[in-house]
Structure 1
Amino acid sequence: MAKTLIYYSVNTKLAYEINEKYYNKTHYVWCSPFFHGVDQPASSNPKEIYRELRRDVESEDEHSAKIRQNVSGIRRGAKFKHDNHLISSTQFEEIKALVNRSWQRRIFSDFTPFIYVIPHSIDIEAILKPVGLKDKASVRSVEYQIRELPRALFDVINVDY
């Protein structure tokens, strides 16, 4: 496992708020020890992910692949949590309604990117999992998953427009 001081991840305001409200302030993240690693492909580079989301939100891009990816990821996560009895049917329906409202009404501000700053600690080491080669963006990329990141273990940077 790479030794680093900080891991970085990017998520949307909508995903953050759903995790806070429905998932007991526990977040699912893909992260990297580099905010902008030169060998890190754009699809796993937190700076590039942030820039693409921000650009798409600012321009209200209705064909944004990053926003569509986020909508799909939130839906998949809610289905997984529901199927595994981690949230109720009512909560599942509420999450679907929130996502549908944001996407169908094109409430772009809900997809504002947030930067997660995750300081290295013993607690993080215990839950940090390297991403396997078949799921990585590139052989060169350095990627990790944290399936259940407690809110107390990271900070959020929200750069207002």
Structure 2
Amino acid sequence: MPALDSMLFYSANSFLSLMINRRFYNGQHYIWCSPVFNPKTLDERDPMQNIAVSSSPHHIYLGYSDSVKSRDRHSDQIERNRRGIKKGAAAMLAEKKITDDDYQRIVFIVDNAEIADFKPMLYVIPANKVHSKLSMVPVSELANPMGEEYRIFDLQDGEFDAIEFKF
């Protein structure tokens, strides 16, 4: 694991995901994150440059942004996010962390969300706040086996800043 003294981790997510987590899961978030915002800005010899585009918070953020700006009702990224939110809600229901009524509400909200609800949010996460929660993604699950990605299963609202850029 990298040195965590002053490192930041980044994750790009939809506004809808942020709001669902805050409203239904008491501000607890399950996220994938990266120690690099945009790996393509790094020197080609830097090992962090191997983080795949599909795992790059910069690329993910721009994907949401482009989909929202163009009001793309067929956006693969937005559809994956809808499925992911529902999958997370099903897991929370199975763990009895939400009620059946909560689950039904989440599904309804996700199914009826406007494209604008998927505007991107960048999570900036100080490593010193989450180092004990960071879990390195197994190589078999990495988008690029030479890359480096992490998960946090229980990121709390006070452990990150959610930032929105206006382009």
Does residue 1:124 correspond to 2:130, yes or no? yes
Distance 2:2 2:31 in 1: 17
In structure 2, list runs of 5 or more residues that go unmatched.
41-48
Q: What letter corresponds to residue 3 of structure 2 in structure 1?
A: K
8 A contact 1:44–1:141 mirrored in 2: no
Q: Aligned runs of 1:1-161 on 2, under 5 Å?
A: 1-4=1-4, 5-38=7-40, 39=49, 40-102=51-113, 107-121=114-128, 123-160=129-166
Give % identity: 33
Cα distance per residue 1:91-115 (max 9 Å; x no partner): 111101100111xxxx111000100
- TM-score, normalized by length of structure 1? 0.93
C-alpha deviation, 1:125, in angstroms:
1.1
C-alpha deviation, 1:160, in angstroms:
4.0
Q: What letter corresponds to residue 119 of structure 2 in structure 1?
A: T
C-alpha deviation, 1:142, in angstroms:
1.2
Number of corresponding residues: 156
* Root-mean-square deviation (Å): 1.1
Distance 1:49 1:75 in 2: 19
Q: Which runs of 4+ in 1 moved over 3 A?
A: none
Distance 2:61 2:30 in 1: 17
8 A contact 1:114–1:158 mirrored in 2: yes
